[in-house]
Amino acid sequence: MKRVVITGMGAVTPVGNTAGESWENIKKGVNGIDRITHFDLEDQKCVMGGEVKDFEFPDKRAAKRLDPTSQFAIAAAHEAVADSGIVSGENVEPMRFGVYGGSGIGGIQTLEGQIRKAESRQDCKHVSALMIPMTISNLIAGNIAIEFAAKGPCIGVVTACAAGTQAIGEAFRNIKDGYSDVIIAGGAEAAFAPACFAGFGTMKATSTSTDKDRCSTPFDAERDGFIMGEGAGFIVLEELEHALERGAHIYAELVGYGSTCDAYHVTMPEPDGSGAANCMQLALDEAGISSEDIDYINAHGTGTPYNDEFETKAIKMVFGEDTKVPVSSTKSMTGHLLGAAGAIEGIFCVQAINDGFIPPTINLRVPDPKCDLDYVPNEGRSQELKCVMSNSFGFGGHNGSIVIKKFAE
């Protein structure tokens, strides 16, 4: 089996338009959530969100052919690839260079817009010929592959809010098993479309608070739902010997991945937390470590009443009732980026290892007796980190966990 390392990172998030800027703001506890500006909020139950700020896709002509989801994805992938120094045909064989791109919803802004156009004009003549390629989720990976001449596996991962993590995990397995040398992996989401946004609101999944400091409140007793975010995160995964041979900078090593399904309910997690617990345990088993070796967990931590309670139960099942492992939710600052969430949170984990810093859970003011772990409330802390875990759980019962380790030859 091959060892797999991370040699590049890129991100577009509500707290920064690069991986570095995003991480610096996460460390400071910057809140990227505010009132939505994308569309008219009349009749919307939720009015807050984590919007990307001051983003402009560099190629204005190409932008007209790309849904915002793909624009975010390509921008994040460009940063990651430039960071890694990978060039198809020069230092990686194109057929051994792949892309795994995750998304929960895909090009929903384009889809909604084209449907509204057809309805308003009462015919379909004016529907764009590009509607389908701008909408379908696999084109997140496809567009990146075209951009970088990656001719190996090109896989779209659509597992709701676990998609970003599972894209990274499945790419890790592909390299580990010897099929590829380099894979760009991550997720993207741009779901701020009126009907989509309203759908989450009417199902009572999103917070109704209008206070930016009290709407995304993971693990807080007053939490009432998640806050949607948008953006993308991509990393370059590389087989260790391939990376060493070309003198690549290695940020960290990916050592374990777990994937399970609750098989319980379309939206509600399994109440006893066993599906998520099994997922975490599988990731630990593949990494060849015990729960005691984990120095920090970046939780799924959405801020919904059920998720936070059940994830707490799951962590206790794996790490012990009296565990002192630090756990935080960076969604308190970014909102929930759905299919992109796990990818940017994986990047935050890599940066946490490199900086020796655990990011906080901001907005945590009112302790919940059912959520009684160390959630690193409101202020981050300096701590040496050798091994960390990132969790992502999605509608449909999809669970994904990855284990990232400080690199040592």
Q: Say which residue the tokens 């806050």 belong to.
A: 227
Amino acid letter, 40: D
**Which DSSP helix (H) or strand (E) runs through 399?**
strand 398-405
Structural tokens at position 200 = 């989450």
Buried b (16+ CB within 10 A) or exposed e, 32-67: bbbebeeeebeebbbbbbbbbeeeebeeeeeeeebb
CB–CB of 182/80 below 8 Å? no
78 is catalytic: no
Contact status, residue 400 vs residue 100, Cβ threshold 8 Å: no
Active site residue 300: yes
Per the residue annotation, which of 161, 215, 349, 387 is the catalytic one? 161
What are 12's strand-pairing partners?
A: 232
Give catalytic status of residue 336 as yes or no. yes
> 40 phi and psi, to 5 degrees?
-65, 130
Q: Do 186 and 206 meet the contact criterion of CB atoms below 8 Å apart?
A: no
- 207's torsion region: left (phi>0), alpha (psi -120 to 50) or beta? beta
Residue 78: name the closest of 7, 10, 139, 143 by CA: 10
Q: What angle do CA 39, 43, 46 make, to 5 degrees?
A: 70
At residue 204, what are phi and psi to the nearest 5 degrees? 65, 30
Angle, in degrees to the nearest 10, between helices 341-355 and 163-176 = 70
In terms of Cα–Cα distance, which of 223, 206, 149 is closest to 336? Answer: 206
Catalytic one of 215, 242, 279, 300: 300
Catalytic pick from 279, 336, 371, 387? Answer: 336
Residues serving a catalytic function are 161, 300, 336
